[in-house]
């Protein structure tokens, strides 16, 4: 099995990138990832206010897929996620759902062991998921920390082991990349972070030719449901987009 090591990273999904590795349809690849700050947080003395934000949300890749062309559908199956034995969480005043309650930036290192992570005397089950995942756009450049129809920093808890993520291919080879793993995360990463950690993701890439339905935005398939991801200027617009995409998908499948 091919392995793409974590030194092959991008900080934006761009029309100009070239593949770091190429795989065949239905082939699995192991992708090593950095944490969301590319290793800048090493101790609890390292604060988010001191982070170089040009090195945030790296994605390992791009991975080219043979016989994937614009108009096809790329299906990325998350076969497995392995997280490191240590993660961290950060706070910053004024940011996130509880920003008005936070008076100073704090970094907390978190031990990950035996399928649990530990915060002081509390233990939580590890629930690994992929935060950043996407394909390269047909034109332009989108930072990995942002989202778009191509994917990006989706931070959807449903992108986990066993899930399949569907993307409309926009460039020859699709050129996908992923990163920003979490050992656990609340819905929507509402408090600005999850348990940030490096790790390894095993992915299987499939290609659907002549699809009946061409989703403009990513769609996630779990064991028992399909999930559409809305992208908009505000929550209302994003919800409307997600509903419209779900309606179109149901109509096509029926």
Q: How does pLDDT run across 122-139, given as a tens digit for each residue? A: 999 999 999 999 999 999
* Two tokens, residue 117: 């992570």
With a cut of 60, say whether residue 103 has pLDDT above it: yes
- Residue 64 CA to residue 22 CA, distance in Å, equals 4
59-63, 162-166, 187-191: range with lowest mean pLDDT:
187-191
Residues in contact with 165: Cβ distance below 8 Å, sequence separation at least 6, in sequence order: 75, 76, 78, 133, 151, 159, 218, 219, 220, 221
Please report, rounded to a whole number, the percentage of residues in the chain having pLDDT higher than 70. 99
Cβ–Cβ contacts within 10 Å for residue 90, how many? Answer: 23
190: confidence class by pLDDT, cuts 50, 70, 90: confident
Q: What is the mean pLDDT of residues 30-38?
A: 98
* Two tokens, residue 42: 């090493």
With a cut of 60, say whether residue 148 has pLDDT above it: yes
Q: Which domains does the chain have, with CATH numbers?
A: 2-253 (2.60.120.580)
pLDDT of residue 37: 97
With a cut of 60, say whether residue 16 has pLDDT above it: yes
With a cut of 90, say whether residue 97 has pLDDT above it: no
With a cut of 90, say whether residue 213 has pLDDT above it: no
The sheet with strand 122-125 has its strands ordered as 86-91, 106-113, 116-119, 122-125
- The mean of the pLDDT values for the chain is 95
Q: What is the mean pLDDT of residues 203-213?
A: 95
pLDDT of residue 198: 98
pLDDT of residue 75: 98
Cα-Cα-Cα-Cα dihedral of 40, 42, 48, 52, to 10°? -20
- Residue 31 CA to residue 76 CA, distance in Å, equals 12
pLDDT of residue 254: 56
Task: Supply the pTM of this predicted model.
Answer: 0.95
Q: What is the mean pLDDT of residues 154-163?
A: 96
- Give the DSSP H/E element, type plus range, for residue 237: helix 235-253
pLDDT of residue 110: 96
| CA dist 134 → 41, 88, 145 (Å) | 25, 24, 11
61-65, 180-184, 247-251: range with lowest mean pLDDT:
247-251
With a cut of 60, say whether residue 70 has pLDDT above it: yes
Burial 204-223 (b: 16+ CB within 10 A, else e): bbbbbeeeebebebbbbbee
With a cut of 60, say whether residue 219 has pLDDT above it: yes
């Amino acid at each position: 099995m091919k392995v793409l090591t974590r030194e092959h990273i991008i900080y934006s999904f761009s029309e100009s990138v070239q593949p770091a590795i190429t795989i065949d349809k239905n082939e699995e690849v192991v992708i090593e990832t950095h944490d969301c700050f590319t290793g800048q947080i090493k101790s609890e003395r390292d604060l988010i206010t001191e982070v170089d934000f040009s090195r945030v949300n790296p994605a390992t890749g791009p991975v080219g897929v043979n016989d994937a062309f614009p108009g096809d559908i790329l299906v990325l199956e998350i076969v497995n996620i392995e997280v490191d034995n240590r993660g961290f969480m950060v706070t910053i005043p004024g940011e996130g759902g509880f920003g008005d309650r936070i008076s100073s930036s704090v970094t907390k290192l978190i031990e990950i062991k035996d399928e649990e992570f530990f915060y002081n005397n509390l233990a939580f089950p590890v629930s690994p998921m992929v935060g950043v995942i996407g394909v390269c756009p047909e034109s332009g450049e989108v930072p990995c920390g942002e989202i778009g129809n191509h994917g990006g920093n989706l931070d959807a808890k449903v992108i986990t082991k066993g899930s399949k993520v569907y993307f409309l291919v926009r460039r020859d080879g699709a050129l996908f990349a992923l990163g920003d793993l979490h050992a656990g995360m609340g819905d929507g990463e509402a408090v600005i972070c999850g348990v940030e950690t490096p790790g390894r993701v095993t992915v299987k890439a499939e290609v659907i030719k002549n699809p009946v339905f061409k989703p403009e935005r990513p769609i996630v398939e779990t064991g028992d449901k399909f999930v559409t991801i809305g992208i908009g200027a505000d929550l209302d617009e994003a919800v409307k987009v997600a509903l419209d995409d779900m309606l179109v998908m149901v109509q096509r499948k029926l």
